[in-house]
Structure 1
Amino acid sequence: MKVVIIGGDAAGMSAAMQVVRNDEQAEVTVLEKGSYYSYAQCGLPYFIGGLVEDSGDLIARSRDTFREKHGIDARIYHEVTELDPENKVVKGDNLETGEPFEMTYDKCLVATGASPIFPPFDGNDLEGIHVLKTIPDAKKIVEDMNEQVTQVTVIGGGYIGLEVAENFVEKGMSVRLIDLAERVGTVYDKEISEKIEKVAKKQGIELVLNESVESFEGDQRVEEIKTDKGSYQTDMAVVAIGVKPNTSFLKNADVHLHQTGAMIVNSYMETNVKDLYAAGDCATQYHRIKEKNDYIPLGTHANKQGRVAGSNIAGVTKTFQGIVGTSIMKFFELTVAKTGLSEKEAEDLNIPFQSILFEGHTHAGYYPNSEKILFKMMKHKSNGQLLGVQAVGRDGVDKRIDVAATALYHNMTISDLENLDLSYAPPYNGVWDPLQQAARRL
């Protein structure tokens, strides 16, 4: 069996390993547009900030490991430009030689990931303007941070924008963050994002909200950013306003696409086209609470979906059980996390809900260094099903959000959550976990 995998990062290589482990006779070829295999994209902001000193530390497995140890034909600089599912042919270009290539397959997995959205702003070809998605992107930013660069502007107040802003501050830069929205961290409800905004200002980040970038100005290098309301001097800019699935090469393949451009897959990672699979940031994820396909591109999903796809390609039946919308981030001293639905998501889905804000503590108040955690919890108005939890604090947030994610996965009610047998000792918790206290109040 000839298996062609397009894309050599999390989903692609998780799948490749499952194929070779379950079918020793399979011929597996991976076509990677860049030069890096299996690297930790989520670690890139911390390479910029210097917390990760060597970009090589972000590589989980090298290309040579896949080739020599596992017998995978892992190619680099091979960009796929066309897929012909009817004839089972992949076409593209070797970016090193400039030569075109064609390859037949029995089964094919698309794991092309996503690319940063980079609108056609006037002047976006000036030097000093960056995006962040790959190790080369991060290296360019680090190389560009010379002694003349003191003012950095980050465009976008989502996860990547906030993490990049934090790491520029850690490097001693003066940081400005511009966002079209009225607040940063809009994936969270207002009460949670207000905490992020407060810390951003405390750390000296200039927040420019409700403004739309229109152009970059400068001679050869960016010197100024113009919005619909003003202009701002800058020495460097990082655009971090989201990503889009890398699926444009499928225009003639008759593959069903989600409204975001992601490939629609079933629980086996199959598309609507025979013997064509998709996984990772170019594919949809079934949302267990929304009960519909969603697009939340994260490394956790990519690895899981890749394993499922590879197993099924090799003839070992597995299914992807879906997501509940769990995410977490560090922002200076804060940990901010979410699982399930936000109020906006519930409103968009016409789900009747009730919510509560509750401030609890990480552990027993009499034990030293107890910290506050702010919770936002939602339940279904009629049946009491837990719908979502958001939390922000200095410590203990990760533990609670993972308990909540487990409860959501199993469709638990508020009462079920209150009755969980959670661990207690004064250094770790109170006799009532704050998550359960919030549930009781709700």
Structure 2
Amino acid sequence: MNVVIIGGDAAGMSAAMQLSRKRKDASITVLEKGAVYSYAQCGLPYFIGGEVAKSDELIARPVSFFREKAGIDARIYHEVTSVDASGQQVHGTNLENGEAFTVDYDMLLVASGAGSIFPPFEGKDLEGIHLLKTIPDAEKIVEDMKEDVLNVTVIGGGYIGLEVAENLAKDGRKVRIIDLMERVGNVYDAEISEKIQEEAERHNIELVLKEKVQSFTGENGRVDGVVTDQGSYPSDMVIVAIGVKPNTGFLDGTGVHLHPSGAVLVNPYMETNIAGIYAAGDCATQFHRVKQKDDFVPLGTHANKQGRIAGINMAGETKAFQGIVGSSVMQFFDLAIGKTGLSEQEAKDEGIDYSVIGYDSAAIAHYMPENAPLFIRMMKDNKTDKLIGMQAIGKRGVDKRIDVAATAIYHGMTTEEMENLDISYAPPFNTAWDPVQQGARRL
């Protein structure tokens, strides 16, 4: 059985390892456009800021492991340009020598991930303008951060933009965030993102909001400014972090069905509508258990799970992906910020009759010296009393509460059922009534 996997990161290699263990008769070929396999994309901002000393520390397993230990034909610099679904062939270009290649398959897994969005801004090819998606991207940024690079502009105030801004500021740079939206952290409700904004300003990050980037200026081939529809901003370096889009262009003409986001539509077994073709990870959809429909939420946790499930099913066993509830957590200076389930805007978009409350609580007992404020927003479906969303922000205790709420939402618990949860308590760890249960009682 010839198996071809497009993409050598989380989803692709999770699937490859399942196949190598379960199907000894499988000949597995992985086609990776870059040179690095199985790396931690989420750790890239921390390498830029120096918290992670070497980029190699972000690599879970080198390509040599897959070749020598798992018997996988793990290729590098092999860019796939098209797929012949009827002839069951993958076509592409070897970027090292420019030669075309063709690989036959019996089963194909599309695990090509997502690429950074980079609009056609005038001057986008100037030196000092960077994207951040891969280890080579991060290495270029670090190499470019010379002593005279003091003023850095980050375009985009989402997860990556905020984490990059934090790490650059900690490294002693003057940082500015430009975003088209009216607030940073726009995936969160306003009460949460306002607190993120306060934290940014407290650490002297300049926020330029509701402005549209139009072009970059520069002298001698290097960027020296960013121009928006309302002004211009001097910049020694620019990092563009405005989002990602699925790498699925090479599927044109195959008949594979795509989500409006461009991600490959898959069923619970990671199958596409074309027999023998599977997809997983940041290039595929994830079923959202609250929305009860396919969604596009590209996160490493989903990619690893989906890749494993794809590999198990391609090996001839049966396992279904159970869906997501939209959980995430991030650090921003002294704060942790978490989200699970729906935001208030998503609840409105889904036409749900909901109630929502925002309230102040405490991470641990108020009399303990390490206590810190914890702000929570909790939302329920009025018709079913089920918890459908929660967000939290504070110096400590955020991740614990988000994970409790994520578990409750995953299993469709009502707020009354949440009151009855037996959650651990001792003054250094919690309050007698956990903050999540405090909200459940009040909703």
Give TM-score, length-normalised by structure 2.
0.99
Code of the residue aligned with 2:29 in structure 1: it is: T
Q: Residue 286 of structure 1: SS of its match in structure 2?
A: strand
> Distance between the aligned counterparts of 2:172 and 2:369, measured in 1?
32
Shift of 1:224: 1.1
Q: Residue 250 of structure 2: SS of its match in structure 1?
A: helix
Shift of 1:370: 1.1
Per-residue CA distance 1:209-250 (angstroms, 9 max, x = gap): 000000001121111111000011110000000000000011
More displaced 10-residue stretch of structure 1: 35-44 or 356-365:
356-365
Q: Residue 81 of structure 1: SS of its match in structure 2?
A: strand
> Distance between the aligned counterparts of 2:118 and 2:366, measured in 1?
48
Answering whether residue 232 of structure 2 is matched by residue 211 of structure 1, we say no
Shift of 1:431: 1.1
Answering whether residue 420 of structure 2 is matched by residue 434 of structure 1, we say no
Is the 1:22–1:316 contact (alpha carbons within 8 Å) kept by the matching residues of 2?
no
Code of the residue aligned with 1:281 in structure 2: it is: D
Q: Residue 301 of structure 1: SS of its match in structure 2?
A: helix
Answering whether residue 101 of structure 2 is matched by residue 96 of structure 1, we say no
Q: Residue 199 of structure 2: SS of its match in structure 1?
A: helix
Per-residue CA distance 1:256-299 (angstroms, 9 max, x = gap): 00000000000000000010000000000000000000000000
- Residue 238 of structure 1 aligns with which residue? 239
> Distance between the aligned counterparts of 2:262 and 2:398, measured in 1?
33
Answering whether residue 195 of structure 2 is matched by residue 198 of structure 1, we say no
- Residue 58 of structure 1 aligns with which residue? 58
Shift of 1:430: 1.3
- Residue 330 of structure 1 aligns with which residue? 331
User: RMSD of aligned C-alpha atoms?
Assistant: 0.5
> Distance between the aligned counterparts of 1:367 and 1:347, measured in 2?
39
- Residue 293 of structure 1 aligns with which residue? 294
> Distance between the aligned counterparts of 1:315 and 1:169, measured in 2?
50
Code of the residue aligned with 1:412 in structure 2: it is: M
> Distance between the aligned counterparts of 1:23 and 1:292, measured in 2?
32
Is the 1:268–1:320 contact (alpha carbons within 8 Å) kept by the matching residues of 2?
yes
- Residue 271 of structure 2 aligns with which residue? 270
> Distance between the aligned counterparts of 1:293 and 1:438, measured in 2?
29
Q: Provide the identity percentage.
A: 64
Code of the residue aligned with 2:382 in structure 1: it is: K
- Residue 163 of structure 2 aligns with which residue? 163
Q: Structure 1: any 5+ residue segments left out of the alignment?
A: none
Q: Structure 2: any 5+ residue segments left out of the alignment?
A: none
- Residue 29 of structure 1 aligns with which residue? 29
> Distance between the aligned counterparts of 1:367 and 1:334, measured in 2?
19
- Residue 9 of structure 1 aligns with which residue? 9
> Distance between the aligned counterparts of 1:316 and 1:85, measured in 2?
23
Q: Give matches, 1:376-391, under 5 Å.
A: 376-391=377-392
> Distance between the aligned counterparts of 1:264 and 1:383, measured in 2?
29
Shift of 1:368: 2.1
Q: Residue 208 of structure 2: SS of its match in structure 1?
A: strand
> Distance between the aligned counterparts of 1:432 and 1:11, measured in 2?
39
Per-residue CA distance 1:111-139 (angstroms, 9 max, x = gap): 00000000000000000000000000000
Q: Give matches, 1:274-353, under 5 Å.
A: 274-353=275-354
Q: Residue 82 of structure 1: SS of its match in structure 2?
A: strand
Q: Residue 126 of structure 2: SS of its match in structure 1?
A: coil
Q: Give matches, 1:352-371, under 5 Å.
A: 352-371=353-372
- Residue 45 of structure 1 aligns with which residue? 45
Code of the residue aligned with 1:375 in structure 2: it is: I
- Residue 402 of structure 2 aligns with which residue? 401
- Residue 19 of structure 1 aligns with which residue? 19
Shift of 1:441: 1.1
> Distance between the aligned counterparts of 1:318 and 1:111, measured in 2?
18
- Residue 114 of structure 2 aligns with which residue? 114
- Residue 179 of structure 2 aligns with which residue? 179
> Distance between the aligned counterparts of 2:7 and 2:367, measured in 1?
53
> Distance between the aligned counterparts of 2:92 and 2:384, measured in 1?
53
> Distance between the aligned counterparts of 1:42 and 1:105, measured in 2?
32
Code of the residue aligned with 2:151 in structure 1: it is: Q
> Distance between the aligned counterparts of 1:419 and 1:360, measured in 2?
19
Q: Residue 260 of structure 1: SS of its match in structure 2?
A: coil
Shift of 1:383: 1.8
More displaced 10-residue stretch of structure 1: 376-385 or 155-164:
376-385
Number of residue pairs matched by the alignment: 442
Shift of 1:367: 2.2
Q: Residue 271 of structure 2: SS of its match in structure 1?
A: coil
Code of the residue aligned with 2:37 in structure 1: it is: Y
> Distance between the aligned counterparts of 2:336 and 2:147, measured in 1?
31
Code of the residue aligned with 1:174 in structure 2: it is: K
> Distance between the aligned counterparts of 1:139 and 1:36, measured in 2?
13
Is the 1:31–1:78 contact (alpha carbons within 8 Å) kept by the matching residues of 2?
yes
Q: Residue 423 of structure 1: SS of its match in structure 2?
A: coil
Give TM-score, length-normalised by structure 1.
1.00
Q: Residue 50 of structure 1: SS of its match in structure 2?
A: coil
> Distance between the aligned counterparts of 2:310 and 2:255, measured in 1?
20
Is the 1:328–1:338 contact (alpha carbons within 8 Å) kept by the matching residues of 2?
yes
> Distance between the aligned counterparts of 1:39 and 1:410, measured in 2?
31
Answering whether residue 228 of structure 2 is matched by residue 224 of structure 1, we say no
> Distance between the aligned counterparts of 2:328 and 2:336, measured in 1?
11
Shift of 1:355: 0.2
Code of the residue aligned with 2:7 in structure 1: it is: G
Q: Residue 39 of structure 1: SS of its match in structure 2?
A: coil
> Distance between the aligned counterparts of 2:85 and 2:142, measured in 1?
41
> Distance between the aligned counterparts of 2:368 and 2:52, measured in 1?
34
- Residue 76 of structure 1 aligns with which residue? 76
Code of the residue aligned with 2:279 in structure 1: it is: A
Structure 1 stretches of 4+ with a deviation exceeding 3 A read none
Is the 1:182–1:210 contact (alpha carbons within 8 Å) kept by the matching residues of 2?
yes
Answering whether residue 430 of structure 2 is matched by residue 392 of structure 1, we say no
Q: Residue 310 of structure 2: SS of its match in structure 1?
A: helix
Code of the residue aligned with 2:26 in structure 1: it is: A
